[in-house]
Amino acid sequence: MRDRLIQLGCVLLATISVIVGGRLLPDILRVSDERSLRYTDVSIEGAPPIVALGTAIGALRGIIVDYLWIKTNIQKEKGLFYEAMADASLITKLQPRFGDVWAFQGHNMAYNISVMTDTPRERWEWVRAGIDLVRDQGLRYNPNDLILHKEIAFWFAHKLDGVSDDAHLYYKREFARDWQFLLGVPPASHQDRIAWIAAIKDAPDSLEELEIKDPSVKVMVDQLRGSMSGFDQKFQFQLDSDFLKNIGRWQSVQDSRYAKILGLEATFRKNDPVYTAYDTIFSKPEFKPAMEAFLPFLRKKVLREAYNMDPALMWEYTRDFGPFDWRHPQSHAFYWARKGSTTAAKRTTNEEDIYKVLNNDRLNIQAMQALARTGLMHYDPFSNDNPGRLNDPRWIKAIDKYFGELYRKHFGTRGGGGDSFCDFYQNFMSQEVRELFRFGDYDGAQTILTKLDNLFGRGGLIPNNKYEAPLETFVQNATYGEYVGAPDVARSDVYAALTRGFREGLLMNRPKVLEEAVKFARDLTEYFQGNQYSDFVNKFGERRMADLIGNLRTSVRDVFSNVLMDPSQPLVDRLTIYNRAGEPERRMVFDLVKAALEAEFLNDPLSQLAPFSQLLPEPPDMEPYRQAMAAEAAKRGTEGETSKRSTAELK
């Protein structure tokens, strides 16, 4: 009888426990979701398989992870980077929510192991592998880890967009090529870029949904799938990043100036059956609407699955901040830093955590500054040229607005958090005064100078005369001595002066302005490339500083083509500028701007007045010029291969 009572008591206690637990579960889940005390953003979602592996080991897991973590740090100190990576990889399997080990392993690959390789390509593979590891795995298992977001943002900003690595120019070329194949060339205007990303954001989530919405997509996909069915498995129809990049490569061949002058289209058709299959299907006029619907869907799928990026956030950041170009590493630095600050906000509640947020926010505004300096990109993926990177004044207002937000957010942060943003703002806006002055926007430059004087000069907390000088005097003072230490300042001044020269000198028929701008650009380029640092050639055969500035011809080409394709200026004005330019300048840009201007022309009232070929005539001697450019491109390619072989032999 006694045993039966004990059994009944246990059953009653278990029943009460289940009932009470069930009553408490909703509150537990709610608090877990509110305070981010779980693996994913929704508590009831399952953890990844590797979490189950670690859980199965039980309490022993902690001891093993501690031992491996100590061992990994000792190996790193001894320079045993490959061995450290193997043990770190094991830790991520046992404890995937240990953010520090993901950061350790990614940094080890991108920084320590990469510099031990012999060629730029090998180095790039390790850098990319480190970034991919943290972005595609670490952040999936730790979506609310602020430090992981900050680390990957820093790698984009420092390793890819910085200049400290001998192979940094190679990284910039490869990164721009990858993202141009993935997303294509972004539209010129900010509003068009918002709509461009919105199309990806709003695309259907599955191919089935897309085919129901647009039956022509199914017809196109069925034909493409059939034409690729005989290929090797990895080249068959698959909705993955390789498939999207191959489509992007096919599109780039159609638009690339170098692909045309090097005859790459005919070469690909002859030697590349994958390219031929794409060309056969996608070139059909009846599939153009289907292609316009299919590409945003595929880009959305690949961004989410292969790059762990949310098109909705990309659209939101483009809408709220500025015209991001995703071929630029700093756009990704901004994305991950901003995402880290917002997703981890609920975890940063104590006084120490605010400094993690502060460092993340600094990366945000520094990325915006870099985009203001170099965010206007021109790139041909089939050339051996470095991406053209012009200054983009559209970011000035965005930074002006965001500075206020950050200053208020960190005003009370101990250690002068708000003051650090004031220092940044003064330095950045002082340089923008100089830049707008070189552009010829004297009113805009004076407006910023007056604001600086009101905030930090005579109207500041401690009044001073730093900003009371006349505009031209202030510009000279702000520029003096910066060129060698800050090459971006020299590049910015060259581009700004040439932009003003083309716009004001040609449109207003004031040739003296253009003459002075070209002279200034030539003198500054020769000065910078003639200094003692410019002769340095790194072990990969690239002139780290000289190549960063470029030569006068490429500067003229990049700026002139940007002026002609700037949609903020009336089309008739830009066509006037083109026709008043000299023949050498027109030859440089004709193939670059023709397609874009013709598409714009067809939707403009000008199309009713005259044929496009009359308004944008082909310059004389274009064919010899194209042949010369083809020979030059082929020579650069040969020299590049020779340099790689020589480097390998030396090693």
pLDDT tens-place string over residues 54-89: 555 555 666 776 777 777 778 767 777 667 767 777
319-338 confidence digits (pLDDT tens): 999 999 999 999 999 999 99
Q: Is residue 291 part of a domain?
A: yes
- Residue 25 CA to residue 43 CA, distance in Å, equals 11
| pTM for this model (two decimals) | 0.74
Residue 264 lies in a domain: yes
Give the Cβ contact number of residue 66 at 10 Å. 12
Name the range with the highest mean pLDDT among 36-40, 373-377, 412-416, 630-634: 373-377
Nearest to 242 by CA among 311, 201, 298: 298
pLDDT value of residue 548: 47
Q: Are 138 and 211 in the same domain?
A: no
Total Cβ atoms within 10 A of residue 134? 27
- For residue 367, is it within any domain? no
The more confidently predicted of residues 91 and 425 is 425
Residues 136 and 308: beta-carbon distance below 8 Å? yes
Q: How many CB atoms lie within 10 A of CB 208?
A: 10
Q: Which run of H or of E encompasses 378?
A: strand 376-378
Same domain, yes or no: 212 and 113: no
- 613 shares a domain with 495: yes
pLDDT at 254 over 90: no
Question: Is residue 643 very low, low, confident or very high in pLDDT (cuts 50, 70, 90)?
Answer: very low
- Higher per-residue pLDDT: 378 or 564: 564
In this predicted structure, the answer to whether residue 44 has a pLDDT above a threshold of 60 is no
Q: Are residues 494 and 570 in the same domain?
A: yes
Helix (H, G, I), strand (E, B) or coil at 388: strand
Backbone angles phi, psi at 389, to 5 degrees: -135, 100
Domain limits at 295?
202-307
* One domain, residues 492 and 616: yes
Q: What angle do CA 361, 108, 114 make, to 5 degrees?
A: 105
Single residue among 127, 143, 159 that ends a domain in this structure: 143
Query: What does the CA dihedral 144, 145, 149, 154 come to, rounded to 10 degrees?
Result: 170
The DSSP call for residue 502 is I
Q: Is the model's pLDDT at 269 over the cut of 70?
A: yes
Question: Tens digit of pLDDT for each residue in 105-161?
Answer: 888 888 988 888 888 998 999 899 899 989 998 999 888 888 899 999 999 999 999
Phi, psi of 482 (to 5 degrees): -90, -20
pLDDT digits (tens, 9 = 90+) for 402-446: 888 888 887 777 655 667 788 888 888 888 888 788 777 888 889
pLDDT in tens, 514-524: 888 888 777 77
Q: What is the pLDDT of residue 182?
A: 96
What pLDDT shows up at residue 649?
A: 37
| pLDDT for the residue numbered 427 | 85
Hey, what's the torsion of the CAs at 601, 604, 610, 612, to 10 degrees? 0
Q: Is the pLDDT of residue 220 over 50?
A: yes
Residues 498 and 610 in one domain: yes
Same domain, 139 and 217: no
Residue 569 placed within a domain: yes
Quick one: what percent of the chain has pLDDT higher than 90?
A: 26
**Do 137 and 56 fall within a single domain?**
yes
Amino acid at position 648, single letter: A
At residue 250 the predicted structure's pLDDT band, cuts being 50, 70 and 90, is very high
Average pLDDT (458-466) is 86
For residues 233-256, one letter each, b for 16 or more C-beta atoms within 10 angstroms of the residue's C-beta and e for the rest, the string is eeeeeeeebebbbbbbbbbbbebb
- pLDDT bucket at 550, cuts 50 / 70 / 90: low
Half-sphere exposure at residue 490, Cβ-oriented, CA atoms within 13 angstroms: 25
pLDDT, residue 28, reads: 56
> For residue 319, what pLDDT is reported?
96
Q: Which own/partner pairs from 570-575 qualify as long-range (CB within 8 Å, at least 24 positions apart)?
A: 571/597, 571/600, 571/601, 571/604, 571/606, 572/606, 573/507, 575/606, 575/615, 575/616
Is there a domain that residue 197 lies in? no
7-11, 119-123, 530-534: segment of lowest average pLDDT: 530-534
Whether residues 212 and 298 share a domain: the answer is yes
Give the count of domains, the chain. 3
User: How many angstroms separate the CA atoms of 585 and 592, rounded?
Assistant: 12
Q: What is the overall mean pLDDT for the chain?
A: 81
Residue type present at position 362: R
* pLDDT tens figures, 149-160: 999 999 999 999
- Out of 87-96, 550-559, 561-570, the most confident range is 561-570
Sign of CA dihedral 374, 376, 382, 385: negative
Q: Is the pLDDT of residue 297 over 90?
A: yes
Of 163 and 438, more confident: 163
Rounded Cα–Cα distance for residues 228 and 288 (Å): 20
In this predicted structure, the answer to whether residue 354 has a pLDDT above a threshold of 70 is yes
Flag whether 552 is in a domain: yes
Backbone angles phi, psi at 345, to 5 degrees: -60, -40
Asked if 499 and 607 sit in the same domain, the reply is yes
Res 55: pLDDT: 53
Domain boundary among 253, 284, 307: 307
Domain assignment present for 153: no
What percentage of the chain carries pLDDT values higher than 70?
Answer: 81
The verdict on residue 106 lying in a domain is: yes
Give the integer Cα–Cα distance in Å for 339 and 328: 17
Query: Is there a single domain that holds both residue 130 and residue 211?
Result: no
Q: Where are the alpha helices (DSSP H) in 480-621?
A: 487-500, 507, 511-529, 546-549, 552-565, 571-580, 583-602, 612-615
Q: In terms of domains, do 542 and 610 share one?
A: yes
Of 143, 163, 187, the residue at which a domain comes to its end is: 143
